[in-house]
């Protein structure tokens, strides 16, 4: 199926099966490898992208379901004010270890802050519990989200 998507503000055209999850279009067809494969069943959040600003697991989202909505990936999220704040907080607090899940963590956190600029702990739990980090960086993820929200180190 010939498809055109708007990804990080750019038009991308390709021909893939309609049921192909967006994850594999990004990674294997477009070579945008910042979005990660973790489980394939929306259990780990490594593949999180934004569709019209909302966090979505791309491993189970058929490319045909995206339609004309805007796709933002980790490669593009830094161009949004919230995404840039999240990336900065992640580096300021040295959240990252292996980093493999962190594309997804950052995308989930950016979507949270875009919708809820001052999240409390339960907002953070609700928005971030779908993202597994095997290195166990949760304590710093929580602190970084609060810092990105407030602009102050917690």
Partner 1 sequence: MSIIETAAASTVKKFSRTVSRRGLLKGGLAGGFLVAFHLPLRAANEPVQPPDVTDGKFAPNAFIRIDGAGHTTLVMPQVEMGQGVYTAVAMILAEELDADLSQVALQHAPPNDKLYGNPTFGLQVTGNSNSIRAFWKPLRIAGASARAMLVQAAASEWKVEPASCTTSKGQVTHSESGRNLSYGELATAASSETPPKDVPLKDPKDFVYIGQPLKRLDTPDKVNGKAVYGIDAMLPGMKFATLAACPVFGGKVGKVDDSAAKKIPGVQQIVVLDDLVAVVGDHMWAAKKGLEALTITWDEGPNARISSKEIWQDLRDKSEKDGVVARSEGDIAKGLSIGDKMEAAYELPFLAHATMEPLNATVHFKQDSCEIWTGTQIVSRVQAEAAKAAGLPVDKVIVNNHLLGGGFGRKLEPDMVVAAVRIAKQVEGPVKVVWTREEDIQHDVYRPVYRDVISATLSDGKIAAWKYRIAGSGVIARWLPPAFQKGIDIDAVDSAVDLPYEIPNIQVEYVRAEPPAVPTGFWRGVGPNNNVFAIECFMDELARKAGKDPIEFRRAMLTKQPRFLGALSLAAEKSGWGQPLPARVGRGVCLQPSFGSFIATVVEAEVDEQGEVHLRRVTSAVDTGIAVNPDTIMAQLEGGLIFSLTAALYGEITIEKGRVQQSNFHDYRMLRIDQAPKIDIHVIKSSEAPGGIGETGSTAGPPALRNAIYAATGVALRRLPIDRSLIAAGKKS
Interaction site with partner 1 (CB under 8 A): 16-17, 20-21, 24, 27-29, 31-41, 43-44, 46, 73-75, 78, 87, 90-91, 94, 96-103, 106, 124-126, 128-142
CB of 67 to partner 1, least distance (A): 19
Cβ atoms within 10 Å, residue 6: 14
Closest to partner 1 by CB, 51 or 101:
101
CB of 76 to partner 1, least distance (A): 9
Tokens 């390709």, residue located: 14
HSE-CB of 84 using CA atoms within 13 angstroms: 3
Residue 21 contacts residue 59 (beta carbons within 8 Å): yes
Closest to partner 1 by CB, 71 or 141:
141
Cα separation of the two ends of the chain: 49
| SS3 of residue 39 by DSSP | coil
CB of 23 to partner 1, least distance (A): 8
């Amino acid at each position: 199926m010939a498809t055109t998507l708007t990804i990080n503000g750019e038009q991308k055209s390709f021909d893939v099966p309609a049921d192909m999850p967006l994850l594999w279009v990004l990674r294997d067809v477009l070579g945008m490898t910042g979005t990660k494969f973790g489980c394939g069943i929306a259990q780990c959040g490594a593949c999180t992208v934004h569709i019209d600003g909302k966090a979505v697991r791309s491993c189970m989202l058929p490319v045909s379901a995206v339609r004309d909505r805007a796709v933002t990936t980790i490669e593009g999220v830094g161009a949004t004010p919230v995404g840039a704040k999240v990336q900065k907080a992640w580096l300021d607090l040295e959240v990252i270890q292996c980093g493999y899940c962190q594309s997804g963590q950052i995308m989930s956190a950016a979507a949270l802050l875009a919708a809820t600029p001052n999240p409390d702990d339960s907002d953070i739990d609700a928005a971030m519990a779908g993202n597994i980090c095997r290195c166990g960086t949760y304590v710093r993820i929580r602190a970084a989200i609060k810092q990105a929200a407030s602009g102050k180190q917690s």
